């Protein structure tokens, strides 16, 4: 249910379009839940709980009949290699936010251009947002390892001409990081289009931008995202 809900939130926020993009959650060292596709798939925005299937890290069904009528995403290695390399992470979101892709292709480096507008986003940018330079379909373990190497110890990585990967301890946090990155990219594009210059906030301001942590900010933000889905 959590992964399916997160897929719908990501779509509602414009982080994915159509059938592209997927989110996973680690179950143990051999299994994960991941959004899969079927012949009745209507797109990420319409993800059903049944679209999330239990599979092994090698792509085989996690139990008998689990993939009947379903197929694993081509880019499963994004999830598997990230989870293998980042034992502290339980969730991976691979999404296609257009603003992030456009900003990167325009040569814009994600910087902490604002502060209290979005404190988690500001800290995300301050810590650095790496870029995986290849615009390929990451469908092999080798390519997955390349992406993970580019990601390093950061929570998100931009895949040039492709999308992003966000890894976190929880499924909501993985999606919230993606939302913050999308907001940063969108604001950067707006500043540039208005003829402005992208300048990081003053160093002296960081002391008054406390990192409140996921126990407060993520929980409240996720309640809001879920409530948005429930609006008619």
| pLDDT 10s digits, 164-202 | 999 999 999 999 999 999 999 999 999 999 999 999 999
Token representation of residue 216 = 């407060």
User: What is the largest distance, in Å, between two alpha-carbon atoms of the chain?
Assistant: 58
Token representation of residue 92 = 């991976």
User: What residues of the chain score a pLDDT lower than 50?
Assistant: none
**Secondary structure of 91-141 as H, E, C letters:** EEEEECCHHHHHHHHCCCCCCCCCCCCCHHHHHHHHCCCCEECCCCCCCCH
- Side-chain-facing half-sphere of 179: CA atoms under 13 Å: 22
Residue 50, SS3 per DSSP: helix
- What is the pTM (predicted TM-score) of this model? 0.95
pLDDT of residue 192: 97
**Domains, the chain, ranges and CATH?**
2-230 (3.40.225.10)
pLDDT of residue 216: 63
How far, in Å, CA of 178 to CA of 172, rounded? 10
pLDDT of residue 97: 98
Q: Which of 2, 30, 66, 75 is catalytic?
A: 75
Q: Is 75 a catalytic residue?
A: yes
């Amino acid at each position: 249910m959590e992964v399916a809900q997160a897929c719908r939130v990501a779509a509602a926020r414009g982080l994915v379009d159509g059938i592209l993009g997927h989110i996973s959650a680690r179950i143990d060292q051999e299994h994960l839940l991941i959004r899969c596709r079927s012949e009745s798939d209507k797109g990420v925005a319409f993800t059903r709980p049944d679209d999330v299937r239990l599979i092994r890290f090698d792509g085989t069904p996690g139990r008998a009949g689990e993939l009947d009528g379903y197929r694993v995403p081509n880019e499963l290695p994004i999830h598997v290699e990230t989870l293998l390399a980042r034992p502290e992470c339980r969730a991976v979101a691979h999404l296609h936010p257009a603003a992030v892709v456009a900003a990167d292709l325009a040569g814009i480096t994600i910087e902490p251009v604002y502060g209290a507008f979005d404190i988690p986003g500001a800290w995300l940018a301050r810590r650095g947002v790496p870029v995986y330079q290849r615009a390929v379909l990451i469908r092999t373990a080798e390519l997955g390892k390349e992406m993970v190497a580019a990601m390093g110890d950061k929570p998100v990585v931009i895949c040039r001409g492709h999308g992003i990967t966000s890894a976190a301890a929880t499924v909501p946090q993985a999606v919230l990081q993606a939302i913050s990155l999308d907001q940063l990219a969108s604001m950067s594009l707006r500043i540039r289009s208005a003829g402005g210059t992208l300048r990081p906030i003053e160093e002296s301001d960081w002391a008054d931008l406390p990192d409140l942590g996921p126990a407060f900010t993520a929980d409240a933000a996720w309640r809001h995202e879920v409530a948005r889905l429930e609006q008619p």
